[in-house]
Amino acid sequence: MGFPLIAALYGTEGLLYASSYNTVFNIIMWTYGYTMVSGKTKVKDIIRTLCTTPAIIAVPIGLFIYLTGCHVPEVIKQPISLIGGMNTPIGMIVTGMVIATYLITAFVH
């Protein structure tokens, strides 16, 4: 829900900075965070987890498409754009459901 808001407020440059920050956060979360939660300290296990995380796999693919100016076919581009457009409304619906659940729980008990 944050990326569409950042794109609306700060434009594509702000979105680039937010995505960069999010990428670093995901790398730290899937290395150090994984180590803390799982208790595994082998570098091999950490690298395997990092390399199989969808958020991290998408980074080199996205960088390749962005830096090379590779043309994405409309058959792929349109569904991804439509799914991306649903991101904010679905986030708001889920947030509203969580708030409503807490309010109902507070008034019932």
Q: What is the pLDDT of residue 68?
A: 92
- pLDDT above 70 for 109: no
Spell out the SS3 assignment of 60-83: HHHHHHHHHCCCCCHHHHHHHHHH
- Rounded to the nearest 10 degrees, the angle between the axes of helix 87-108 and helix 2-28 is 90
Domain ranges of the chain: 1-70, 73-109
Both structure tokens of 20: 């960069």
CA atoms of 62 and 81, how far apart (whole Å): 14
pLDDT tens, 49-80? 778 888 788 888 888 988 898 888 999 989 98
State whether residue 53 is helix, strand or coil.
coil
For residue 48, what is the enclosing H or E element?
A: helix 43-51
pLDDT tens, 46-55? 788 778 888 7
